[in-house]
Structure 1
Amino acid sequence: MSEKVFPKDFMWGAATASYQIEGSPLADGAGPSIWHRFSHTPGNTYNGDTGDLADDHYNRYKEDIALMKELGLKAYRFSISWSRIFPNGKGKINEKGVDFYNRLVDELLKANITPFVTLYHWDLPAALQDLGGWTNRDIAYWYTDYADYMFQRLGDRVKNWITLNEPWVMAFVGHFMGEHAPGMKDLYAAFSVVNNQLRAHSKTVKAFREENVKEGKIGITLSNTSHDPATDSQEDIDAARLAHEWTNYPLFLNPIYNGEYPSGIKEHASVFLPHNYENDLEEIKEKIDFVGINYYSGDLVKLDTKSFLGGKTVERGLPKTEMGWEIYPEGFYKILKGVQEEYNPKEVYVTENGAAFDDSVVNQEVHDENRIDYLKQHLEQALRAIQNGVTLKGYFVWSLLDNFEWALGYSKRFGIVYVDYKTQKRIIKDSGKWYSQVIKNNSFNF
C-alpha cells in the first residue's frame, strides 16, 4: 500500500481558464478580448458558440468554490482575464475587474484552498491585438505592466504565479494554423510571438523578484505531447526529436535555462525567428521557481519531407478520447522524466491533465468510468516519476468544470463536474467523487 502513496505535502488541485468558464466577458467595464472577437466571428467556432455565458462562474464563483471544498481540493489554478483589469490592455484600470479576483481569492482562502494564478491564458485584450498583439515587441512591456499590477494587488495573498499558459498553442495554433484567436496563418508571425512571449515572461519574472512577493513562486506552463519515432530508422528518430523540440517544453525552457533555442530549431527554423533575436537571449535567461507541465496525449512521428520540420504523425491503434487524442499514459512519464533530466527544475507541477469523453446524465448522476481509468493510469505514471527523481510537487486535473472548449465550443466535456449549460446546474461526476477520494487518501489505491 505504502508505495502507492504520494508525498506528504503533495498539492492536489483542479484547473480552469477565465474565458472558458467565467461568462460575462464585457461585464462591469471589462474590455473585449481576442477570444470574444474570434468566437463572435461566424465560422470560427463549433455551432457559433461563444464564451458569453460559459459556466457563469463570474456570478457563481461562490457556489463553485463550495464545490471545490466538497471535493477536498487543496489548490485551484485559475487565470485572470487581462481585459477585465485593463479594458484597453494598458492605461486605465478597471477596479471592478480587480474586485472580482480579490473576492475570488478571499473566498478560496476562506475555504483553505491555495490559489495558483495564471496571468495569461490566451485572452489578450482586443485593443492590443489592434496594435499587433504578440507580434509587437512592445507587448513585453504591456504584459509586464499588467502582471506587475496584479502582483501588487494580489501578492499579499497569492503566492503561486504562472506567467503564460501553453505559449506554443498561442503562437502556432493562433498565428500559424489560424484555428485559435487571433486566427492568423503566418509562420514568421508565430515565431515572433514565441520570442515576444519569452521576453514578456522573463521581464515579468524580474518584476516579480523586484516586488519581492513574500514566499512567492513563479513559473511557466507548457503544453506537451509525447512524440515517439514510428520506426527505429534514424530519419524517424530525428523527426520525433525535432517534433519534441518544436512542440514541447524545450522550445521555451531551452532559452529560459540555457539562453538559446534548441539545436533543431536553430538548424531548421532560425530563418523564421525575428531579426536579431540573439540579442534577446541573455535577458530571457531568467531563473524560475517551477515548471508547469500540461499533458494529454502521445503520438508516433514519421519522416515527412513535405511537412514543416519534416515529420507527420501516424496511427498506432491506441484507444482515443472524444478529442481524437490517443490515450498514452507512458508518454506522461517520459515527459515528466525528460523535463527533469534536461533542465533539472527546482519544482515541477502537472498544471493540466485530463480527458474529454461523451458524458451523459442518468438519474442525476454521471458515470464516467473511462475518465477514472484515464486519470488513474496517469496518476500511476506521475507517482512513478516522483519515485524516479522528478521533483513533482502537485497535480491539477483539467478541468474542474465542463466548459467552453475554444474553437470546439461546448461540444467537448473535460470536467470532473458536469455542467448543464441551459440551467447551469452542476453535478459531480463519478470521476469527481473518485478524485475526491484520491485527495483524501493521498493515493489512487483505495
Structure 2
Amino acid sequence: MIVWTNQPYSVYEQLMATGSFSCTPALSSNLNDGFDDFARAYAWMIKQMNRHTMEQSIFYCGDAQAKGYYPTFAKRLWAEHNVHLDITEEDKQEMLEGKVDMYTFSYYMSNVVTTHESEDKVGGNFAAGVKNPYLNYSEWGWATDPTGLQYYLEVMYDRYEIPLMVVENGLGAVDKIAEDGKVHDDYRIDYLRQHLQAIGNAIDNGVDVQAYTTWGCIDCVSAGTGQMSKRYGLIYVDRDDEGNGDLHRMPKDSFYWYQKVIATNGEDLG
C-alpha cells in the first residue's frame, strides 16, 4: 500500500501492522558541466555546487521521510531563509516512528549544474538548467540519460538502505499514425529499454529495486504543458490539443514490446 502525504507519520494508524508507505519525489540527475578540461579548482567548485543542489532538492525531504529526521545541513538552510522551527522531542519521535518503508521516485532526465549561466538553456523542462552536449533531447527539451537513473538508484540506496521503486519513467513525444494505421514508436521503446537496462545494472550492484512502472499506460493531457500532443502512453488515444477526436484507443508498438518485457520480468528487452 502506498499512501501519498507530506506527513507520513499522520497516516500510521491507517496502515496498521501490515501496511507500508513510501515517499515519491520527482528526481533528475544533477551533473557538473565539466565538458572541457577545466582546472582542478573549478572542478572542485562544481562538485560543491552539485552536492548543495542534491542537498536542497533531494536529501532535505528524503532524509526527513526515509531516515525520520532532518539532515545536519537543514539548520543552514533554515538560517539562510530566516526560518525558525519549534521542533519538540515528541515531534522528533513522531518523525522517527513515521519514516517510510520504501523510497519511491519518478525519473525522466538529468540536469546540469553550472556556473556558466550564459550557456544554451534547456527548454520545456520543469527543472531548467543548461544543455548537456553529450545527450539527446526530446521535442520538449528533456534529456535522455539512463545512466542518471542508475546513479540515483545507487546513491539513494546507499543513503537510505531501504527498498526502492521507480514509479514514473517515460518519454513524451509527438506520435504519428503511419500509413498502415499503426503507431511505430521505436524511439519510446529505445528510451524505456535503456532505462530498464540501467535499473538492471543498479540491481547487479546490489540495489534493492522492488518495482518499476512506466508513465504511462495511455495518452493523456500532459500535466506539465497541458498538451495532448505530448504523448507518453503505450496506447494511442484519438484526441488532439484542441479537443478533436473520438477518443478511440489503439496499442502502439511499445505496447506489444512492453507486454513482452512484463511477461519475461525484464529478461527480454529486445
TM-score normalised to structure 2 length: 0.81
- For 2:230, the equivalent position in structure 1 comes to 412
- For 1:315, the equivalent position in structure 2 comes to 131
Deviation of residue 221 (structure 1)?
1.3
Deviation of residue 295 (structure 1)?
0.6
- For 1:433, the equivalent position in structure 2 comes to 256
Three-state SS of the structure 2 residue aligned to 1:397 is coil
Three-state SS of the structure 2 residue aligned to 1:394 is strand
| 5+ long unaligned stretches in structure 2 | 35-39, 118-127, 240-244
- For 1:207, the equivalent position in structure 2 comes to 13
Three-state SS of the structure 2 residue aligned to 1:399 is coil
- For 2:48, the equivalent position in structure 1 comes to 238
Out of 153, 156, 161, the residue aligned to residue 2 of structure 2 is 161
Report the AA paired with residue 385 of structure 1. Answer: A
| 5+ long unaligned stretches in structure 1 | 1-159, 165-196, 306-311
Deviation of residue 263 (structure 1)?
4.2
Percent identity between the two aligned chains: 28
Out of 365, 376, 391, the residue aligned to residue 182 of structure 2 is 365
- For 2:21, the equivalent position in structure 1 comes to 218
TM-superposition CA deviations, 1:412-441 (whole Å, max 9, x none): 111111111221111111111110011112
Deviation of residue 218 (structure 1)?
1.6
| Residues 38-53 of structure 1: pairs in structure 2 closer than 5 A | none
Report the AA paired with residue 26 of structure 2. Answer: S
The 8 Å contact of residues 228 and 240 in structure 1, kept in 2 or not, is answered as yes
- For 2:144, the equivalent position in structure 1 comes to 327
- Asked if residue 398 in structure 1 is aligned to residue 215 in structure 2, the reply is yes
Comparing 216-225 and 369-378, the one that deviates more: 216-225
Which structure has more relative contact order (CA 8 Å, sep 6+)? It is: 1
Three-state SS of the structure 2 residue aligned to 1:225 is strand
- For 1:283, the equivalent position in structure 2 comes to 94
The number of aligned residues is 242
TM-superposition CA deviations, 1:334-356 (whole Å, max 9, x none): 000111100101x2111111111
Deviation of residue 265 (structure 1)?
4.6
The 8 Å contact of residues 8 and 100 in structure 2, kept in 1 or not, is answered as no
Three-state SS of the structure 2 residue aligned to 1:412 is coil
- Asked if residue 229 in structure 1 is aligned to residue 32 in structure 2, the reply is yes
Q: Distance in 1 between matches of 2:50 and 2:194?
A: 24
Deviation of residue 201 (structure 1)?
2.2
The 8 Å contact of residues 255 and 281 in structure 1, kept in 2 or not, is answered as no
The 8 Å contact of residues 136 and 144 in structure 2, kept in 1 or not, is answered as yes
Deviation of residue 302 (structure 1)?
1.2
Q: Distance in 2 between matches of 1:258 and 1:351?
A: 20
Q: Distance in 2 between matches of 1:322 and 1:331?
A: 20
* CA distance 1:366–1:339, change in 2 (3 Å): same
Three-state SS of the structure 2 residue aligned to 1:267 is helix
Deviation of residue 259 (structure 1)?
4.2
Q: Distance in 2 between matches of 1:263 and 1:370?
A: 43
Out of 340, 354, 379, the residue aligned to residue 170 of structure 2 is 354
TM-superposition CA deviations, 1:62-89 (whole Å, max 9, x none): xxxxxxxxxxxxxxxxxxxxxxxxxxxx
- For 2:107, the equivalent position in structure 1 comes to 295
Q: Which has the higher helix share?
A: 1
The 8 Å contact of residues 235 and 303 in structure 1, kept in 2 or not, is answered as no
Three-state SS of the structure 2 residue aligned to 1:275 is coil
* CA distance 1:289–1:268, change in 2 (3 Å): closer
* CA distance 1:220–1:258, change in 2 (3 Å): closer
CA RMSD after TM alignment: 2.4
TM-superposition CA deviations, 1:44-77 (whole Å, max 9, x none): xxxxxxxxxxxxxxxxxxxxxxxxxxxxxxxxxx
- Asked if residue 255 in structure 1 is aligned to residue 64 in structure 2, the reply is yes
The 8 Å contact of residues 242 and 264 in structure 1, kept in 2 or not, is answered as no
Report the AA paired with residue 3 of structure 2. Answer: I
Report the AA paired with residue 262 of structure 2. Answer: I
TM-superposition CA deviations, 1:235-256 (whole Å, max 9, x none): 21111112222223x1222112
* CA distance 1:301–1:264, change in 2 (3 Å): farther
TM-superposition CA deviations, 1:324-370 (whole Å, max 9, x none): 1111110000000111100101x211111111111111233111111
The 8 Å contact of residues 364 and 427 in structure 1, kept in 2 or not, is answered as no
Three-state SS of the structure 1 residue aligned to 2:21 is strand
Three-state SS of the structure 2 residue aligned to 1:381 is helix
The 8 Å contact of residues 68 and 99 in structure 2, kept in 1 or not, is answered as no
Report the AA paired with residue 272 of structure 1. Answer: H
* CA distance 1:269–1:387, change in 2 (3 Å): same
